[in-house]
Amino acid sequence: MKKVLIPTKLDKVAKELLESNGQYKVVQEEKTELLALAQQHPDAHAIIVRSEKVTPEVMDALPHLKAIVRAGSGFNTIDVKYARKKKVDVLTTPGANSNAVAEEVVALMLADARHLVEADPSCRRGEWEKTKFMGREVTGKTIGIIGLGYIGQLVAKRLEGFEMHVLGYDPIVSQERAKEIGVELVDLPTLFERSDYVSLHIPENAETKGLVNAALLGKMKKGATLINCARSGVVVEADIRAVKAEKQIRFLNDVYAKDEPGPKSCLDIADIMVPHLGASTKEANWTAAKFAAQFLMELDEKGMSSYIVNRDLPAGLNESYVDLAYILARLCRAVIGTETKLKLVETSFYGQLKPFAGWLLAPIVSALSDRVERTMDPKGAAQFLKNMGVDYADREVDEHKGYGGSITVDLTGSLDADHLIHASVRGTVTEGNLMVSRINDFDKLYFEPTGSILVMIYKDRPGVVGQIGSALAKAGLNIDDTRNPHDSKGENSIAIFKVNKAVPAEVVAYIAKDIAAKSAFAIELKTR
């Protein structure tokens, strides 16, 4: 019998499903602290948790542990790297809580629009303040949804009955998928300018932390509403505080730096604040519990799951190629444009890499979306692309080309309904170093894609490299390496500069204008 610990208030369906399987004994004790429970049951095979922290100490107390299942989508409370070191699989149940969070967004909107939170105690006191609680209707208004994953798409669907105009921003969702769910894709400034409501549904990481700042908040309509049921760090609370009175912005909040009792930093700016209730419904708890049990049984019986987030590398695959796949996809995304809506991802794996095509898809998708871990199971990565309306094709390769040990990543996207754009990047690993050999029609580049990179594509003519170098010098940037080949027709050139620090956006814009660049971008390339 395999012992499973559930140290949380999780729906009993998980325990029932596991025990009905006949192979599991379940210990569910929500009032016992996890480490203490682990020490009492050192023979445990698996743990199913909600928000409990699974630390190295907990894992060390369980020498037979094989799996940790998070009944939910986030896993920041689990030390996944240590789990991998201990050969423990970490699984999540994405989508289980999505409807609950989507409905919470609608509930917050309506409660605020009709002043229900304030009106209830007023009425209970015997007061009759109809004029004071004059509200507004959400029907016909415009909502901007930032992040169109499971939850963002459901928010759009749940609001269909209110005949709202839905704007959306997501770096990876396709135009076709957006059209299917009734969303108009726009850039972030436009979304904030046009929306009566802005709802956040993005993870918190290096790229999204502080995303909602003074620059975007300053574009909001007077009296517009910001709803955060995502992560606290994606908004700059001080910037809300600075513009709230002038803009009369309403702020509805469900997330905090720490999920625990005590004073909250947004107390003075939140018009409604609730204790992270997004996933707190009986239905979401039941679904997450059911998924957790099913995924654990699938892992044990079939040796696989689409939702392992710390998958180990298969024997024979060098981790450098995982890094290469990730870097090539990031670079290709920059070439095609970060605001271009993806339509198709294509890959080519040459030589010894062909058997690992599925495994290398996850780091590629991870480079395109911060909602995917590079160690995710291949099926999970493929399903994510499908959910976002992006097609995927792994192409047959011609080994006679001699590209053994190389990876090619191609991206096709749409600028609008009638215009497609394409980018292609190929690279390899040589002497332990990542190497980019081709970008679009610029071949034999052979540059190491690490650090701060500036790329300019322009009509070939003498003196341009000197112009770029001079501008970089004036900006206090030192050139570490450069490449400057022509395309196959000799019409255009690409200038690739590796510099000692990040190139500011204003410097990129100045150089692009100065040399009349056809394409220009700066990017920081590093493996996670």
Residue 221 has pLDDT above 80, yes or no: yes
pLDDT band at 355 (very low <50, low <70, confident <90, very high): very high
Name the 3-class secondary structure at 45. coil
SS3 assignment for 244-301: HHHHCCEEEECCCCCCCCCCCCCCCCCCEECCCCCCCCHHHHHHHHHHHHHHHHHHHH
Which residues share a beta bridge with 16? none
CB atoms within 10 A of CB 299: 19
Residue 528 has pLDDT above 70, yes or no: no
| Helices 98-113 and 116-124, packing angle to 10 deg | 60
Rounded distance, CA 292 to CA 91, Å?
8
Q: How many CA atoms lie within 13 A of 28 on its CB side?
A: 17
Residue 374 has pLDDT above 90, yes or no: no
pLDDT band at 73 (very low <50, low <70, confident <90, very high): confident
pLDDT of residue 370: 85
| Highest-scoring range by mean pLDDT, 42-46, 77-81, 415-419, 522-526 | 42-46
Give the chain's mean pLDDT.
Answer: 93
CB atoms within 10 A of CB 461: 9
pLDDT tens digits, one per residue of 415-461: 776 788 999 999 999 988 999 999 999 999 999 999 999 999 999 99
Rounded distance, CA 361 to CA 452, Å?
25
Contact 101, 278 (CB under 8 A): yes
Q: Which CATH architecture has domain 321-525?
A: 2-Layer Sandwich (3.30)
Share of the chain above pLDDT 70, in %: 99
pLDDT tens digits, one per residue of 154-172: 999 999 999 999 999 998 9
The domain ranges of the chain are 2-95+283-302, 98-273, 321-525
**b/e map of 182-197 (b: 16 or more CB within 10 Å)?**
ebbbbebeebbbbbbb
Name the 3-class secondary structure at 348. strand
Share of the chain above pLDDT 90, in %: 83
Question: pTM here?
Answer: 0.88
pLDDT of residue 404: 83
| Highest-scoring range by mean pLDDT, 297-311, 411-425, 478-492 | 478-492
Question: Phi, psi at residue 46, to the nearest 5°?
Answer: -155, 160
Please report, to the nearest 10 degrees, the dihedral formed by the alpha carbons of residues 344, 347, 348, 352 taken in order: -160
pLDDT of residue 417: 64
Mode of pairing for the β-strands spanning 492-499 and 479-483 = antiparallel
pLDDT of residue 394: 93
Q: Does domain 2-95+283-302 have CATH number 3.20.20.70?
A: no
Amino acid identity, position 389 = G
Active-site positions? 231, 260, 276
Q: One fold for both 98-273 and 321-525?
A: no
- For Cα atoms 356, 357, 361, give the angle at the middle one, nearest 5 degrees: 115
- Taking 3-state DSSP, the helix, strand and coil percentages for the chain, each rounded to the nearest 5, stand at 35, 25, 40
Q: How many CA atoms lie within 13 A of 384 on its CB side?
A: 27
DSSP state of 495: E
pLDDT tens digits, one per residue of 23-41: 999 999 988 999 999 999 9
pLDDT of residue 133: 95
CB atoms within 10 A of CB 331: 23
CATH fold of 98-273: Rossmann fold (3.40.50)
Rounded distance, CA 411 to CA 394, Å?
12
pLDDT band at 511 (very low <50, low <70, confident <90, very high): very high
Contact 13, 286 (CB under 8 A): yes
Residue 476 has pLDDT above 70, yes or no: yes
Please report, to the nearest 10 degrees, the dihedral formed by the alpha carbons of residues 523, 524, 526, 528 taken in order: -100
